[in-house]
Structure 1
Amino acid sequence: MSWQAYVDDHLVGTGKVSKAAILGKQGGVWAASSGYNLSQQEQDAVVKTAFAQPDQIRANGITLSGFKFMCIQANPDEVIGRKGERGVFLIPTTQAILVAEYDAPVSAGEANVIVTKLADYLKSVSY
C-alpha cells in the first residue's frame, strides 16, 4: 500500500480526520491530503522540535499549513493542539510522524482513536 493510501483511506477516509500528512523522521513529506501543504519550517517544527523540545511547543504552539494551534499537551508519545473548533494530533511511529487535523463536530476522542490505531499498526510493522 502506498503512503498516500494511508492518508486517504485510513485517516481522511474515516470522516473523523479532515486533513493529514505523514512526515518522515529523517525529513520530507511521505504523503499528505489534497491541499494540505506544510512549509519546510512547519515540517521542521514537527520533526525536529515537537518531540525533542516539547517546552518550546507548549510555549509557542504549532503552526500547520498556516494555521496556528495552541498546544494542549506535548510528551514523547503525542502532541495535541487545538484552536476553536479545530484540533490536531502529532503521533510519532518508528520512522514517521502522523499529523492529523480534525474539525467540529468530530470530537478529539473520535479523531484520536483513528490516528492512534494507524500509529500502532505502523509501529507493529517497524514503520
Structure 2
Amino acid sequence: MSWQAYVDSSLVGSGNIDKAAIFDDQGTSPWATSAGFQVNPEEMKFIVASFKPTKPGDIKEIQSKGFHLGGDKYVTLKSDDSRVYGKLGKTGVIIVKTKKALLIAHYPENVQPGAATNTVEALAEYLIGVGY
C-alpha cells in the first residue's frame, strides 16, 4: 500500500479523521497528505522537538504552551515521547511517532476523540509492527 493510501483509506477513509498527513520521523519530508492539509515547517520542528526525552519531573514546552498546526493553536491534552494529543474547541489532533514515521490526524467536531485516537493508534501499531 502506498503512503497516500494510508492517509486516504486508513485515516480519512475511516470517517473518524477529516485531514491527515504522514511525514518521516524528523518531520522534514511529507510522505502523504490529504488535500488542503498544510503543516508549516516551524510548527513541525516544534512538534518533533517535543518527542525528545526530558528529565523526570520536567514539563515539556508543548505541555505548557500548546502547539500550532496549520496556523491554529491547540491546547495539549497529553504528550509523551511518541504521542501528542491536542484540542481546539470541539476539534482535535492526534500525532503519533512510530519508528520511522510521524502520523498527524485532525478530527472534526462531530467525531468522538476516542474514536479518532483509536483510528490513528491502530495505524501506528500496524506500521510499528512492519518496521516503520
- TM-score, length-normalised on structure 2? 0.90
Q: Flag structure 1 segments of 5+ consecutive residues without an equivalent.
A: none
Q: SS of 2:10's equivalent?
A: helix
> Runs of 4+ in structure 1 displaced over 6 angstroms?
none
Q: SS of 2:110's equivalent?
A: coil
**Mapping of residues 98-113 of structure 1, within 5 Å:** 98-113=103-118
Over the residues paired in the alignment, what is the CA RMSD in angstroms?
A: 1.3
Query: Counterpart of 1:89 in structure 2: which amino acid?
Result: I
Q: Flag structure 2 segments of 5+ consecutive residues without an equivalent.
A: none
Q: Distance in 2 between matches of 1:92 and 1:42?
A: 15
Q: Is the 8 A contact 1:23 1:43 kept in 2?
A: no
* Percent of residue pairs identical: 39
Q: How many angstroms does 1:50 deviate by? A: 2.2
Q: Which has the larger radius of gyration?
A: 2
Q: Is the 8 A contact 2:47 2:62 kept in 1?
A: no
- TM-score, length-normalised on structure 1? 0.93
Query: Counterpart of 2:3 in structure 1: which amino acid?
Result: W
- Work out the number of aligned pairs and report it: 126
Partner in structure 2 of residue 19 of structure 1: 19
